[in-house]
């Protein structure tokens, strides 16, 4: 597990994707401001991430991917967020959706990763669409908001209500569309995570063959089609896997970056309206930094417990409902701790942190926007976890 304090001199550099992610942090930090202005990652950033193989961490090995565990995805995306939250978010989303693709029938996987192992896939599961059953598949029309990474994606995963031949809705599905079948409508005008380009995907009466459709309820229940590789990765818990890397891990990296920035500048920054020449000399400031560091450490502990539980379950017995809810609660708690830590750090650092030239204000905005993702709502998740702990059978969400 990584730490929020600097590694001792001589600490071995971890191999593979994590080392690549660490080496990219300075480049991502340099491109963050331009990405915000353009509301998309810079081409240099995308090229560097792709060149390091970080868009294919969850792609099956038989297509040249890493088929990495959730823990590795968390390691990589949290590290990338130390340089730029939007870059980490897009990498996390694309890899999580790539993992979903690995659950589809192998004919679909062959069409996607078999044709292009470097393919990037964005995704929105909300069934904001209409569909008609036709021979061999469906005709689908719809608009899917908040498709992170859509500018750079080659495919999109979209949700839709599945009808039978009479038009009656019999399931909720997700389908794979190649970029040629949809357009991207620019609609992502927000306060933070601006460079994720989480725009609207629009499709009009496109044909989706049966083999590119998967049932969402069955996926949530762990009922995946048999896979040729037999990898344990394809048995991970659906909602938890989708939440960990793209949503919670970037928060951890943003918290680390905020702490590092405030600690570094405290050695030279005055403590206004006090007799302290430097912030670091004040006990009040020291306490605030300690409080923030403790919350970031708590976030890390919860995030990695969830990732390890999910990975262990994929290798052995699947998590039961209580185990899945504890993992979701861990992930949500991690995000909450980081939100608190960043607020403490901003107050300790002072109003200068809100200057447009300060990276701290971008970290704060990115963290605040990312923490409000609907799937991470802390009170809802706590209610679900509390009901499970008490044996209350009432279900308030399908995302268990």
Write out pLDDT tens, residues 249-262.
Answer: 999 999 999 999 99
- Indicate the helix (H) or strand (E) that contains 133: strand 129-134
* pLDDT computed for residue 7 by the predictor: 42
Domains and CATH numbers, the chain: 17-114 (1.10.540.10), 121-215 (2.40.110.10), 236-390 (1.20.140.10)
Write out pLDDT tens, residues 355-386.
Answer: 999 999 999 999 999 999 988 889 999 999 99
Q: Which of 346, 247, 248, 244 is nearest to 291 (CA)?
A: 346
C-beta of residue 103 within 8 angstroms of C-beta of residue 206: no
Exposure class string for 367-396: b at 16+ Cβ within 10 A, else e: bbbbbebebbeeebbbebbeebeeeeeeee
Region 16-33: mean pLDDT is 96
Of 11-20, 87-96, 372-381, least confident by mean pLDDT is: 11-20
Q: List CB contacts of 79: < 8 A, sequence separation 6 or more.
A: 2, 18, 21, 22, 25, 88, 253
Write out pLDDT tens, residues 112-160.
Answer: 999 998 999 999 999 999 999 999 999 999 999 999 999 999 999 999 9
* pLDDT computed for residue 397 by the predictor: 85
The answer, yes or no, to whether residue 5 has pLDDT greater than 50, is: no
Region 36-59: mean pLDDT is 96
Write out pLDDT tens, residues 284-301.
Answer: 999 999 999 999 999 999
Beta bridge partners of 174: 159, 214
Q: Output the six-digit token pair for 376.
A: 């991470």
- Please give the mean pLDDT across all residues of the chain: 92
Q: Output the six-digit token pair for 33.
A: 């401001």
Write out pLDDT tens, residues 222-236.
Answer: 887 766 665 777 778
Tell me the pTM: 0.93
* pLDDT computed for residue 10 by the predictor: 37
User: Residue 76: how many CA atoms within 13 Å on its side-chain side?
Assistant: 33
Q: How far apart are the first and last CA of the chain?
A: 27
Phi and psi at residue 309, to the nearest 5°? -60, -45
């Amino acid at each position: 597990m990584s730490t929020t304090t600097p590694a001792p001199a001589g600490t071995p550099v971890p191999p593979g994707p994590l080392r690549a992610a660490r080496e990219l942090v300075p480049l991502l930090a340099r491109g963050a401001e331009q990405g915000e202005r353009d509301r998309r990652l810079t081409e240099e950033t995308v090229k560097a991430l792709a060149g390091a193989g970080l868009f294919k961490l969850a792609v099956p090995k038989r297509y040249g991917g890493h088929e990495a565990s959730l823990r590795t995805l968390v390691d990589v995306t949290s590290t990338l967020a130390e340089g730029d939250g939007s870059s980490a978010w897009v990498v996390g989303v694309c890899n999580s959706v790539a993992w979903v693709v690995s659950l589809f029938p192998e004919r679909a996987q062959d069409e996607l990763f078999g044709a292009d192992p470097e393919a990037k896939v964005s995704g929105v599961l909300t069934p904001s669409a209409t569909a008609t059953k036709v021979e061999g598949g469906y005709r689908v029309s719809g608009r899917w908001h908040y498709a992170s990474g859509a500018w750079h994606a080659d495919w999109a995963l979209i949700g839709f209500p599945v009808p039978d031949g009479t038009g009656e809705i019999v399931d909720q599905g997700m389908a794979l569309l190649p970029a040629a079948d949809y357009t991207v409508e620019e609609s992502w005008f927000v306060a933070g995570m601006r460079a994720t380009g989480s725009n609207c995907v629009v499709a009009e009466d496109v044909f989706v063959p049966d083999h590119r459709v998967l049932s969402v309820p069955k996926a949530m229940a762990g009922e995946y089609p048999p896979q040729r590789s037999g990898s344990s990765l394809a048995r991970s818990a659906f909602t938890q896997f989708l939440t960990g890397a793209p949503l919670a891990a970037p928060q951890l990296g943003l918290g680390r970056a905020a702490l590092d920035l405030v600690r570094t500048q405290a050695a030279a920054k005055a403590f206004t309206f006090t007799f302290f020449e430097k912030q670091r000399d004040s006990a009040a400031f020291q306490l605030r930094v300690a409080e923030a560091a403790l919350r970031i450490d708590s976030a890390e502990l919860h995030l990695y417990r969830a990732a390890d539980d999910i990975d262990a379950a994929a290798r052995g017995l699947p998590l039961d409902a209580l185990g899945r809810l504890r993992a979701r609660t861990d992930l949500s708690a991690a995000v909450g701790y980081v939100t608190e830590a960043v607020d403490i750090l901003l107050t300790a650092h002072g109003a200068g942190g809100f200057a447009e030239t300060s990276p701290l204000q971008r970290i704060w905005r990115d963290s605040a926007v990312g923490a409000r993702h609907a799937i991470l709502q802390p009170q809802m998740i706590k209610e679900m976890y509390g009901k499970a702990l008490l044996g209350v059978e009432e279900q308030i969400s399908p995302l268990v």
